[in-house]
């Protein structure tokens, strides 16, 4: 960039800079120079900038280049991956993590960190669920936006990924996600829309897959009509690494930057297409201009000297991990532990933590805490014993390992058993085939429970696992994947230094077979049909009235909270303001995650019985009451109307459920919401019923029908019979006294 770049507005700079470039230079700008950097144009002083993975830490490669986590990368703080971060239900905390990621990126001169990933967890089998936030679009969007804001507060760009409907790893480079418009808008795009509109990420990464048959990387509807024209996205669209199928079509669709480098092949195709007239040069100018804009933003980043404050970031990783742990069960106040208790720590994960997932997000942590060491720190001297119980890779003499674990547990007051998924069980690149923990681990747990019923289970897993032992042990802590400080954070929670406040951002089902995508995952022959439609996650379990092991939003605390009666009112802008007083009725300070769900009885469209619309994590001192105010945005009440292709808020009396989980509703209040005007075009294809509801055509049609059928019960009965007929067809139907002229008059006047 020339010096003027730093002071001009990006738009001015871009216009001049693009005009300064040759056709070949413009084309070269729109694809990477190598694996991680954009192409420099030295002649006019355009530097190259670097993008690297994340997103729960920085993965700046120091040796070879790859996108599957094989080669080394510089040490960086490994924060809890998205599966852990989202369980905090706390966007402020996510923003702080984002800021720390921004600082680490800036120190390493990285312009864009490739995350967050906010794809919906459609199936618990998706191999990459640990990198995603939730089965719910509001949680995904709110938490995603917060991370983006944090990262970008440091003058570093984020990359919201993978846009869109990339909900599985099987055949991910080709598969077509076949999704109907309502679920696509209301479930799969809603989180992206929220994050784009609230946080304006510098970049959005398009996904590998096709959506309803069209590759995301060359879909003008997705990348331009929806993303830019509807949502107002102002940044750059980058391809996922290797997602480009047809680069020329991509340029026309609004895919600004192809990554990584195509070795000049794509650039040559783009140049040829412009020369032969099949690609408009103005389309190339637009995408090249956006690359210049991104480079300009990166250039304006405030200096970040470093070195990295490893201790401070490790402490933040520990704080976040402590907030991410979800206390699923705590019968008889088993937890927190008392330092004087004799504790048998069982399970190889206590010494070899599983703290992140495999693939492109693999971070090289600056340090790594183990739970066993941290437990020893908390406990009184000589109170902690350890037995591996099993080997993570399933090797060894399982019977002997089990026997040792049982004996260790029998000699202690309490057993804490660390179970989890081996790293090989879940990864980017493939999906899981089941949701079971390894059989040898379950057998080890059985042996321990037989020896010591006072057993606490601590889980480490990126994707949901079935908990067949949920009724057999008094306490369960879901630890997800917690990053480099997960071991010490787990001890913080076990000993009560941190009062748990994590919540389930995804349902733990009883059986995989209960999951809504079951039978439609991962599809076949290049297509996966999203047959469950809107009913993803808890929406499905609630609609079907199915039992779950633990519901969406669930999580316990060492204290207790009581809810007052909620109130709801309409704000001037149409949002619904919900207020509720929450009292900490226990004896220690804690955090409650207050959740607001809405429902509309008798809705004209299909809806889940309850949909999350707002949440708030609040800290409350023992004995104190806090007035919690939550905002349900009017636009979040809208459904996507396929007849008019836009969002519609249906008017009516909405039930506002306020509670501690999707199945622990503490109060309901009704709020009357005015609807959006919905004018359906009156055509010959409109049904009688539709036209009767039309304010213009309705009264005249009533007259015509009165003449044709008379009035009274017989006429009403007739209307029931013919009401669903398109009016045009009724006019040609034998023995119906409605003329074509009357229909024409009606539609002309409608």
Enumerate binding residues for ligand BGC (CB under 6 A): 53, 67, 114, 161, 240-241, 360
The smaller minimum CB distance to ligand BGC, of residues 358 and 727, is found at 358
Identify whether the C-beta of residue 373 lies closer than 8 Å to the C-beta of residue 487: yes
**Active-site pick, 53, 240, 256, 285:** 240
By C-beta, is 158 or 409 nearer to ligand BGC? 158
For residue 624, cis peptide bond before it (omega within 30 degrees of 0): no
Query: Distance between CA 101 and CA 735 in Å, rounded?
Result: 74
Residue nearest to ligand BGC (CB): 67
Residues 488 and 482 sit within 8 Å (Cβ to Cβ): no
Instruction: Please state the closest distance from residue 241 (CB atom) to ligand BGC, in A.
Output: 4
CB of 362 to ligand BGC, least distance (A): 10
Angle at 233 between CA 530 and CA 109, to 5 degrees: 105
Positive or negative CA dihedral for 390, 395, 398, 403?
Answer: negative
**Rounded distance, CA 583 to CA 76, Å?**
40
| Residue 682 DSSP label | P
Q: Confirm if 695 and 678 have CB atoms less than 8 A apart.
A: no
The nearer residue to ligand BGC, 161 or 657, going by C-beta atoms, is 161
Torsion sign (Cα): 336, 340, 342, 345: positive
Residue 108 or 694: the one with the smaller Cβ distance to ligand BGC is: 108
Distance CA 448, CA 442 (A): 10
Q: Which of 675, 657, 670 is nearest to 538 (CA)?
A: 657
> What tokens were used for 477?
């802590």
DSSP character at residue 464: -
Task: State in angstroms the smallest separation of the CB of 461 from ligand BGC.
Answer: 20
Tell the smallest beta-carbon distance from residue 132 to ligand BGC (Å).
11
Rounded to a whole number of angstroms, the minimum distance from the CB of residue 52 to ligand BGC is 8
| CB nearer to ligand BGC: pick between 114 and 350 | 114
Closest approach, Cβ 462 to ligand BGC, in A, equals 15
| Structure-token match 């109307």, residue found | 641
Residue 53 CB, nearest distance to ligand BGC (Å)? 5
User: Which tokens in the block code for residue 502?
Assistant: 């994590």
Give the nearer residue to ligand BGC in terms of CB position, either 117 or 347.
117
Smaller CB distance to ligand BGC: residue 161 or 626?
A: 161
CB of 67 to ligand BGC, least distance (A): 3
Q: Which is nearer to ligand BGC, 69 or 254 (CB)?
A: 69
Tokens representing 572? 């001037």
* Distance (Å, whole) CA 215 – CA 207: 8
Alpha-carbon distance of 613 to 599, in angstroms, equals 10
**Residue 240 among the catalytic residues:** yes
Peptide bond into 81 cis (omega under 30): no
- Cα 709 to Cα 737: distance, rounded to the nearest angstrom: 8
Residue 509: both structure tokens together? 């089902």
CA nearest to 86, candidates 125, 114, 51, 115:
115
Minimum CB distance to ligand BGC, residue 114 (Å): 4
Q: Could you tell me if 254 and 265 are in contact, meaning their C-beta atoms sit under 8 angstroms apart?
A: no
Alpha helices in 665-738 (DSSP H): 688-693, 697-709, 713-722, 727-730
Which candidate, 554, 583, 661, places its Cα nearest to that of 329?
A: 554
Instruction: Name the nearest CA neighbour of 239 among 253, 258, 220, 218.
Output: 258
Which residues are the active-site residues?
240
């Amino acid at each position: 960039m020339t010096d003027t770049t730093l002071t001009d507005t990006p738009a001015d700079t871009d216009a001049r800079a693009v005009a300064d470039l040759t056709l070949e230079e413009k084309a070269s700008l729109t694809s990477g120079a190598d694996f991680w950097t954009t192409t420099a144009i030295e002649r006019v002083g355009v530097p190259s900038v670097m993008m690297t993975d994340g997103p729960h830490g920085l993965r700046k490669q120091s040796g070879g280049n790859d996108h599957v986590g094989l080669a080394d990368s510089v040490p960086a703080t490994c924060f809890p991956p998205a599966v852990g971060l989202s369980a905090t239900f706390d966007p402020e905390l996510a923003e702080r993590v984002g800021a720390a990621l921004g600082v680490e990126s800036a120190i390493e001169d990285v312009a864009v960190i490739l995350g967050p990933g906010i794809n919906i967890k459609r199936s618990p089998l998706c191999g990459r669920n640990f990198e995603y936030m939730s089965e719910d679009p509001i949680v995904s969007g709110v938490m995603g936006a917060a991370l983006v804001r944090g990262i970008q507060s440091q003058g570093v760009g984020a990359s919201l990924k993978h846009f869109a409907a990339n909900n599985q790893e099987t055949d991910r480079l080709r598969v077509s996600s076949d999704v109907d418009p309502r679920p696509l808008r209301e479930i799969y795009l809603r989180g992206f829309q929220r994050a784009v509109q609230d946080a304006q990420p510098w970049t959005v990464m398009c996904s590998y897959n096709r959506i309803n048959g069209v590759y995301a990387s060359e879909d003008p509807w997705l990348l331009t009509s929806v993303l830019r024209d509807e949502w107002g996205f102002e940044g750059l669209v980058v391809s996922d690494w290797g997602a480009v199928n047809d680069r020329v079509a991509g340029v026309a669709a609004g895919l600004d930057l192809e990554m990584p480098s195509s070795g000049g092949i794509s650039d040559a195709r783009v140049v040829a297409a412009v020369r032969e007239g099949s690609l408009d040069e103005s389309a190339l100018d637009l995408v090249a201009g956006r690359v210049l804009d991104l480079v300009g933003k990166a250039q304006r980043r405030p200096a970040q000297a470093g070195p990295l404050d490893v201790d401070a970031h490790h402490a933040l990783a520990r704080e976040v991990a402590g907030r991410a742990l979800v206390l699923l069960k705590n019968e008889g106040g088993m937890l927190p532990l008392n330092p004087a208790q004799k504790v048998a720590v069982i399970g190889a994960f206590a010494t070899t933590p599983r703290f992140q997932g495999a693939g492109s997000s693999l971070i090289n942590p600056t340090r790594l805490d183990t739970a066993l060491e941290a437990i020893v720190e908390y406990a009184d001297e000589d109170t902690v014993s350890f037995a591996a119980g099993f080997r993570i890779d399933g090797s060894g003499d399982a019977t002997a390992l089990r026997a040792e674990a049982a004996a260790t547990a029998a000699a202690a007051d309490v057993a804490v058993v660390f179970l989890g998924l081996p790293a090989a069980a879940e990864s980017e690149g493939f999906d899981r085939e089941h949701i079971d923990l390894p059989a040898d681990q379950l057998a080890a747990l059985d042996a321990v429970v037989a020896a010591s019923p006072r057993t606490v289970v601590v889980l480490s897993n990126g994707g949901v696992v079935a908990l067949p032992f949920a009724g057999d042990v008094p306490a369960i802590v879901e630890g997800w994947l917690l990053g480099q400080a997960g071991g010490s954070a787990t001890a913080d929670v076990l000993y009560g230094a941190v009062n748990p406040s994590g919540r389930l951002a995804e349902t733990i089902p009883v059986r995989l077979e209960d999951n809504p995508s079951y039978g439609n995952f991962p599809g076949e022959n290049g297509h996966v049909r999203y047959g469950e439609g809107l009913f993803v996650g808890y929406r499905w379990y609630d609609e079907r009235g199915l039992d779950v092991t633990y519901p969406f939003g669930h999580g316990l605390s060492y204290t207790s909270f009581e809810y007052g009666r909620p109130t709801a009112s309409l704000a001037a802008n149409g949002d619904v303001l919900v207020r509720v007083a929450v009292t900490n009725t226990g004896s220690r300070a804690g955090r409650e995650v207050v959740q607001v769900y809405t429902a509309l009885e008798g809705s004209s469209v299909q809806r889940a019985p309850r949909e999350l619309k707002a949440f708030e994590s609040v800290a409350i001192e023992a004995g104190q009451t806090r007035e919690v105010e939550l905002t349900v945005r009017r636009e979040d009440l809208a459904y996507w109307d396929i007849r008019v292709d836009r969002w519609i808020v249906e008017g009516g009396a909405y039930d506002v459920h306020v509670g501690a989980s999707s199945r622990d509703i503490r109060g309901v209040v009704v709020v009357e919401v005015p609807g959006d005007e919905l004018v359906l075009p009156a055509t010959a294809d409109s049904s009688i019923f539709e036209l009767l509801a039309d304010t213009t055509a309705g009264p005249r049609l009533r007259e015509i029908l009165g003449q044709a059928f008379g009035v009274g019960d017989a006429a009403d009965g007739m209307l029931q019979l013919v009401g669903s007929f398109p009016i045009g067809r009724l006019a040609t139907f034998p023995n119906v006294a409605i003329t074509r002229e009357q229909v024409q008059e009606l539609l002309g006047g409608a």
